[in-house]
A and B are shown apart, each in its own frame.
Chain A
Amino acid sequence: MALASVLGRESAFFNNNKQSSLGVNLDLHVSEPQDFFVRNAASADVFSGPEEKIEFLHGTTTLAFKFQHGVIVAVDSRATAGSYIASQTVKKVIEINPYLLGTMAGGAADCSFWERLLARQCRIYELRNKERISVAAASKLLANMVYQYKGMGLSMGTMVCGWDKRGPGLYYVDSEGNRVCGDSFSVGSGSVYAYGVLDRGRREDLSVEEACELGRRAIYQATYRDAYSGGVVNLYHVKSDGWVCVSQDDVADLHRKYLDEPK
């Protein structure tokens, strides 16, 4: 289901020319990702040559892991455009429907657009089949959608989390075409730091409270060491009857809290 079929009807191009498969009426043959050359905000020199690309929003830490009571999803909330922090309040967990969550890592627009499209496809599936879509099927839909654009410069690393007939489900899908099932994943520039904390503390028999604290701690440690992660830790818990947003903690407050804790 290409960009064209979704946006073709709704696109703002009113002419009747046959459109290319991208839904963009270009005479150019777009065969590889375009680099857009513009000057950096911080550069004082007005006429520097074409070196940098348009800065889209990147950089993050997200994680998710399964345990006996479901799936915990924890994310930071910083969005950067180059070295400028564009926002500290980005919502990186996308609520696809009341029992499926998707995370955002990589290009913000890519993630939010394709996951919004995924929400639409999941709803259509529900209406056609009178039952909820499974996590495996939802992640497969997403993977197939972005695979058509492989090599064109999409940047998306997302985890599809939910609870279906087979129990808690967790899949990692990215714009390279990977789709893997697993028990725990961490994605983004700060993932290396989060993995350290996550792997150390993860057990199958965690209680809900312990699991939430593990997710929170892992993201906090990642924001501590990764310059491109920060802001607020958003924590979600996916249970058998849907997801709940557990907490939103500012990283500065968490820092003070952990500093006071006895070692």
Chain B
Amino acid sequence: MNKDSHSETCLLQFRYPIFTVLALAGDDFAIVASDTRLSEGYSIHSRESPKCYKLTDTTVIGCSGFHGDCLTLTKIIDARLKMYKHANNKTMTSGAIAAMLSTILYSRRFFPYYVYNIIGGLDEEGKGAVYSFDPVGSYQRDQYKAGGSASAMLQPLLDNQIGFKNMENVQQVPLTKEKAIQLVKDVFISAAERDVYTGDALKICIVTKDGITEETIPLRKD
């Protein structure tokens, strides 16, 4: 049984996920945020390359990982959304997009899309939903998730501040939109301090029933 040398050289060119994506869900909103730096190795290719892609009026996807696969995957998802719209005369809901993405990713089980996806949006009842994926399509619904290069730094902070984990005698107040946005800004500013691949600017997409609004906040450029 020979390993195909062509496929091996392709795979060796994959780089580690080099940007950070974060999503969190509240009672009636969802936030997807990412930094806008695109780097490879020691160089920065672009400072204005955001990683959040708007799929529908109620769903935003953030993809971290191999940038080529991110672009292709979002094109494929867009095409499938259009097909669904034409066939069924309605837009796909966030839950349905998540299930579809799972099968798209699994169809490449033996040569995966090297992308860690996080979908943020509103479910059918208007409540915030976050779905996080692994590269081959295993997914689950969360309240918050960080993915990408600084994920190991951000996830514990989110666990503590949003999930109230490892805290005693704390009042578990539900997250308001303003507090959530402030938390996301703080979290990315901290990540930019300690992760070389995070910085330049932060793009936040806020999904509410009124639509999707975007905010851009500058981060450290070094």
Q: Are B107 and A23 neighbours in the complex by a CB distance under 8 Å? A: yes
Q: Are B7 and A113 neighbours in the complex by a CB distance under 8 Å? A: no
Residues of B within 8 A of A16 (CB): none
Q: Are B140 and A54 neighbours in the complex by a CB distance under 8 Å? A: no
How far apart sit A113 and B151, CA to CA, in the bound complex (Å)? 26
How far apart sit A57 and B140, CA to CA, in the bound complex (Å)? 12
Picked from A22, A28, A84, A108, the residue with its CB within 8 Å of the CB of B138 is A108
- Dominant secondary structure of chain A at its interface with chain B: loop
Decide yes or no whether A24 CB sits under 8 A from chain B: yes
Closest to B197 in A: A46
Q: Are A31 and B111 neighbours in the complex by a CB distance under 8 Å? A: no
Q: Are B114 and A31 neighbours in the complex by a CB distance under 8 Å? A: no
Decide yes or no whether A182 CB sits under 8 A from chain B: no
Please count how many residues in chain A sit with their CB below 8 Å of the partner chain's CB atoms.
Answer: 45
Picked from A7, A22, A57, A89, the residue with its CB within 8 Å of the CB of B110 is A22
Q: Chain A's nearest CB lies how many Å from the CB of B86?
A: 14
How far apart sit A41 and B17, CA to CA, in the bound complex (Å)? 9
Picked from B2, B106, B134, the residue with its CB within 8 Å of the CB of A81 is B134
Between A and B, 23 residue pairs with Cβ closer than 8 Å are A7-B103, A10-B103, A11-B107, A12-B107, A14-B79, A23-B107, A24-B107, A37-B11, A37-B14, A38-B16, A50-B12, A54-B114, A54-B135, A81-B134, A87-B140, A109-B102, A109-B134, A109-B138, A112-B102, A112-B137, A113-B106, A113-B109, A113-B137
- A-binding residues in B (CB < 8 A): 1-4, 6-7, 11-12, 14-16, 41-42, 76, 79-80, 102-112, 114, 132, 134-140, 142, 149, 151-152
